[in-house]
Structure 1
Amino acid sequence: MKKAIIVLILFGVIAAGVGWLLSAPTRMSDAEASALKAGDPEKGELVFWAGGCASCHAAKGAEGDALLELGGGLRLDTPFGTFVAPNISASEADGIGAWSLIDFANAMTHGTSPDGQNLYPSFPYTSYARMSGEDLGDLYAFLKTLPAVSGKAADHELGFPFNIRRGLGLWKRMFLDPDPVVSAPVGTAEVDPAVWARGRYLVEGPGHCGECHTPRDFAGGLILGSWLGGAPAPTGEGRIPDITPVDGGFGSWSAADIAYYLESGFTPDYDSVGGEMVHVQENMARLPASDREAIAAYLKAIPAVVPANN
């Protein structure tokens, strides 16, 4: 009996050690980090709007120049607890003003903070991991031009075990993947491969559309087999729609309809955008028309998700 207890203890120690190693925060490789270059803030502004940074990090109801004051504070209620968007302004004390470009890139693509902590995926680094080094550099340069906002946002409100950040390392091993979700266009319609690829980059990367429009499993990971097929709203109220080319739904929209909706906020039925999508549409309207057209081309040539799979 004593021997069995010792074996169990040893097994537990080994298992804990393996878990500790596997859950360690990850960072960019030396080669990836050395390839990062100082960016262009003018280009970075477009990345900023494509990524919807102000939608979470500006004050609720902010308009105009106030959208560039990124003091955080937005609360996101989820089954795991309440997450609070942090201050990402240029404040060195309360925001990310003291971060280097490498610090910023590690947070964006690996979900790892400068002090080596795993970040919660309420910050959609699972999508931002697909961003290019050039766009990361440009976005970083633009954020450096924005006002410093004093005051830290409130802490997340999470109970055990979700308040243990180390465990997120295991979560990231399962769900953090920088590879594209959709490998190639599907369907019979002809599409320019370069345009479609640009749309894929915007939707799957900085636009992080899948974070809301794709259902999640019990662990909060995206169910990629139902990519963009609609999902319950994170707040538990209502449903975020399927935006795949499914018959009788979004699939009835033409590429021109989608591009115009992203520009104007009007649907083919002359209804107008509502809910949280208002902020997304306003961000998309700031992008070049070619980017909205690329997003539309991508959405028209991905696998349709039928309702039974949602």
Structure 2
Amino acid sequence: MKKLFRILFGLALIGAITAWFLSAPQYVDTADFENLGGDVARGEMVFAMGGCNSCHAAPDAKGDDKNILSGGQHFASDFGTFIAPNISPDPNAGIGDWELIDLANAMQRGVSPDGKHYYPAFPFTSYVRMEPQDIADLYIFMKTLPVSTKPSEPHDVGFPFNIRRGLGLWKFLFFKSDAVMEPSDNAEIARGQYLVEGAGHCAECHTPRNLIGGLQLSKWLSGAPNPDGPGFIPNITQHDDALGTWSAGEIAEYLATGFTPEFDVVGGSMGSVVENMAKLPDTDRAAIAAYLKSLPALERSQPRQ
């Protein structure tokens, strides 16, 4: 029995050490961000691409107040309620004392300046596909936004999901930087893929997740349960019951105006998405449409039972 106990103890110790190393935070290559200047105008477009104010503005903020990134919006999930933090340029309540590399590690590795894992409610799983220059431009633009001194609220997440180190194991299983769809030689589709799979983070809402929150890539953009309440987030593949009946021009028009081909009007959280997409160049909305039209037709994903 003593020998068996020693073996089991040894295996448990090896497992714990392995889990500790696998769950360690990973960081971007600093060389990718050295000597990168930023452009405010381009950064404003990246800000719109990423829809930063859709989550980080105060609840019910309107007009110019949507650029006050004081946080406070609540996002329900199967694991608890996540609350968007203050990411305004305030050095105490917000991220005003961050360097470019801090923003890069947050957006592309899901790691805070003090080495803690962020929850994937923050879509670093998509932002990891962004180009360093876009992040540098975004960094410069965000410095120009109004400050807010409102403290960030803690997430309402219970055990065991409140153990941040455990998120490193989740990342080991599900955090990938590869393109989801096969890259296209068509420049317009390639640009659309960059926007949809990266900065636009469309899959974070439109792709179903497994029991522990990983995106089901085999059901890419085929719709998902609405985490905030009743209803279902639409399938946006080329299935006949989804966007398959829309032309590329109709998709681009929807992203610019919020009007569907059936003269319906965008609603819910998609309204904020359209508000930001409307700020992009026509070529970017056309590129998003081209990428969506290139997707295979998948049936709408069904809610988990």
TM-score using structure 1 length: 0.95
Alignment partner for residue 246 of structure 1, among 239, 251, 254?
Answer: 239
**Do residues 234 (structure 1) and 227 (structure 2) align?**
yes
Paired residue type of 2:177: P
Please identify, of 246-255 and 265-274, the stretch whose mean Cα deviation from structure 2 is larger. Answer: 246-255
Paired residue type of 2:101: I
How far off its partner does 1:69 sit? 0.3
Q: Cα 1:248–1:122, aligned 2, differ >3 Å: closer, same or farther?
A: closer
Paired residue type of 1:151: K
Instruction: Report what 1:169 is aligned to.
Output: 168
How far off its partner does 1:29 sit? 2.2
- Unpaired runs of 5+ residues, structure 1, are 186-191
Instruction: Report what 2:103 is aligned to.
Output: 104
Runs of at least 4 residues off by over 6 Å: none
TM-score using structure 2 length: 0.96
**1:10-29 superposed matches below 5 A:** 10-29=10-29
Number of matched pairs? 303
Distance 1:64 1:108 in 2: 26
**Do residues 219 (structure 1) and 212 (structure 2) align?**
yes
1:217-256 Cα distance to aligned partner (Å, 9 max, x none): 0110100011000000112421000000112431000000
Instruction: Report what 1:193 is aligned to.
Output: 186
Over the matched positions of the two proteins, sequence identity in percent amounts to 54
**Do residues 267 (structure 1) and 260 (structure 2) align?**
yes
DSSP-derived class of the 2:81 partner: strand
How far off its partner does 1:30 sit? 3.8
1:178-213 Cα distance to aligned partner (Å, 9 max, x none): 11111145xxxxxx8111111101111010000000
Instruction: Report what 2:147 is aligned to.
Output: 148
RMSD between aligned alpha carbons?
Answer: 1.3
2:208/2:301 contact within 8 Å kept: no
Distance 2:288 2:243 in 1: 14
Distance 1:308 1:123 in 2: 23
2:224/2:301 contact within 8 Å kept: no
Alignment partner for residue 258 of structure 1, among 240, 251, 270?
Answer: 251
1:175/1:221 contact within 8 Å kept: yes
Distance 2:36 2:75 in 1: 33
Distance 1:37 1:174 in 2: 31
Paired residue type of 2:96: G
**Do residues 45 (structure 1) and 44 (structure 2) align?**
yes
Please identify, of 160-169 and 174-183, the stretch whose mean Cα deviation from structure 2 is larger. Answer: 174-183
Paired residue type of 1:277: M
Please identify, of 117-126 and 56-65, the stretch whose mean Cα deviation from structure 2 is larger. Answer: 56-65
Paired residue type of 1:261: Y
2:223/2:301 contact within 8 Å kept: no
